Amino acid sequence: MPVGRINRIVGGFYYISTEDGRTITAVPRGKLRRSDGIVVGDVVDYELTAPDQGVIEGVHPRRNLLKRPVVANITQVAVVFAHKNPDFNYLLIDRLLVMLAALHLPALLLFNKTDLVDEKTASENAQPYRRIGYTTLCTSTKSGQGREELLAALQKETTTLAGPSGVGKSALINMIVPGVKQPTGAVSAKIGRGRHTTREVRLLALPEGEGFLVDTPGFSQLDLDFISPAELAGCFPEFGAAEQECRFQGCFHDQEPDCGVKAAVAAGKIYPWRYENYLTFLAEVRSWEEQKRQRPRRTRDKGVGHDRRY
């Protein structure tokens, strides 16, 4: 039985990217007709009923499932920020990187709108994350800078984009997948951020090589309520070696004496602002933990937060 990938769902019809590069329209059979039975990104078995039509017979087990937006089998997230217009801040970048680490989703960090700053500024913005170990690229949809490097990083991956509105996510999709003609929105001078312009979830095949780019109406900024205080330090990769020098096992790196992480900060081996962001998040996850203790236990979906779209 042939296998394909759901690339779009419209009005009860499911569009499948086939292994030979075609797109067919299909409907699900039987119990698969439930509204939550099949989502964009699912790998499915299907049977052809006509050259360009078919019936979906089954859904393969999912690697993962994001709830907002609803998309399955993501292998990495491209975290997009602009060098300028809107200005970025390290706290917001670190929040997204921490959440992705907790969800075991690899992050590709993109600094877009490189044409708006000089080369020195672009390097200074991106260099800290490169030193930490994140794959970090500088891009410009105006000049095409970084297109080839980005396309290489997307190969054999299913990548969705996350980042504040107005940073150029739709323009990046247009640069990578020519002809898709995504609408783009200007940044408001009054509020310093843009408007979301994407309205539905689509899986776009890369025009060169293998891989998919997920076009979504927004990647929700998740609260840190699904991360425990004990898990948080593990979301900062540069803490790993320093933690081995902590006097106490299970050190939280805030009030404990003889802390290897604090010593690494003092020695310049860990960026002070990264450590300060860690302390900010530690206070937040402790607050969430306290709230959970004080209210009745309820079922929670890991990875689902308030609908603040990013």
pLDDT of residue 202: 92
Tell me, yes or no, whether 7 and 101 share the same domain: no
- Examine residue 30 and state whether it is found in any structural domain, yes or no: yes
Residue at a domain's end among 180, 215, 250: 215
Residue at a domain's end among 61, 86, 104: 61
pLDDT of 190 over the 80 cut = no
User: For residue 274, what are the domain limits?
Assistant: 224-294
pLDDT of 302 over the 70 cut = no
pLDDT of residue 198: 44
Tell me, yes or no, whether 75 and 191 share the same domain: yes
- DSSP letter string, 124-175: HHHHHHHHHT-EEEE--TTT-TTHHHHHHHHTT-EEEEE--TTSSHHHHHHH
- Examine residue 182 and state whether it is found in any structural domain, yes or no: yes
Which of 113-122, 171-180, 194-203 shows the lowest per-residue confidence on average (mean pLDDT)? 194-203
Tell me, yes or no, whether 84 and 139 share the same domain: yes
Task: Classify residue 249 by its DSSP letter.
Answer: T
Q: Are 7 and 205 in contact (CB under 8 A)?
A: yes
Angstrom distances, CA of residue 126 to CA of 25, 109, 123: 43, 9, 5
Annotated binding residues for Zn(2+):
246, 251, 253, 259
What number is the average pLDDT over the span 23-40?
84
Tell me, yes or no, whether 165 and 235 share the same domain: no
Tell me, yes or no, whether 177 and 158 share the same domain: yes
Tell me, yes or no, whether 51 and 83 share the same domain: no
In terms of C-beta density within 10 A (0-12 exposed, 13-18 middle, 19 or more buried), how is residue 167 classed? buried
pLDDT of residue 219: 58
Tell me, yes or no, whether 243 and 111 share the same domain: no
pLDDT of 162 over the 50 cut = yes
Mean pLDDT for all residues in the chain: 88
- Examine residue 77 and state whether it is found in any structural domain, yes or no: yes
Tell me, yes or no, whether 55 and 70 share the same domain: no
- DSSP letter string, 87-130: PP-HHHHHHHHHHHHHTT--EEEEEE-GGGS-HHHHHHHHHHHH
Tell me, yes or no, whether 73 and 125 share the same domain: yes
Annotated binding residues:
112-115, 246, 251, 253, 259
User: pTM of the prediction?
Assistant: 0.84
What digits encode the pLDDT tens for the residues 215-244?
A: 887 655 568 999 999 999 999 999 999 999
pLDDT of residue 182: 58
What digits encode the pLDDT tens for the residues 261-296?
A: 999 999 999 999 999 999 999 999 999 999 988 886
Tell me, yes or no, whether 245 and 186 share the same domain: no
pLDDT of residue 129: 98
- Examine residue 302 and state whether it is found in any structural domain, yes or no: no
pLDDT of residue 304: 43
- Examine residue 309 and state whether it is found in any structural domain, yes or no: no
Tell me, yes or no, whether 271 and 207 share the same domain: no
- Examine residue 110 and state whether it is found in any structural domain, yes or no: yes
Which of 7-16, 203-212, 227-236 shows the lowest per-residue confidence on average (mean pLDDT)? 203-212
- Examine residue 305 and state whether it is found in any structural domain, yes or no: no
Tell me, yes or no, whether 121 and 144 share the same domain: yes
Residues 6+ away with beta carbon under 8 Å from 204: 7, 173, 177, 180, 212, 213, 214, 215
User: What CATH number does residue 45 fall under?
Assistant: 2.40.50.140
What digits encode the pLDDT tens for the residues 107-140?
A: 999 999 999 999 999 999 999 999 999 999 999 9
Q: How confident is the model at residue 37 (pLDDT cuts 50, 70, 90)?
A: confident
Residue at a domain's end among 34, 61, 88: 61
pLDDT of 180 over the 60 cut = yes
Q: How confident is the model at residue 297 (pLDDT cuts 50, 70, 90)?
A: low
Tell me the residue type at 43.
V
Annotated binding residues for GTP:
112-115
In the chain, the number of structural domains is: 3
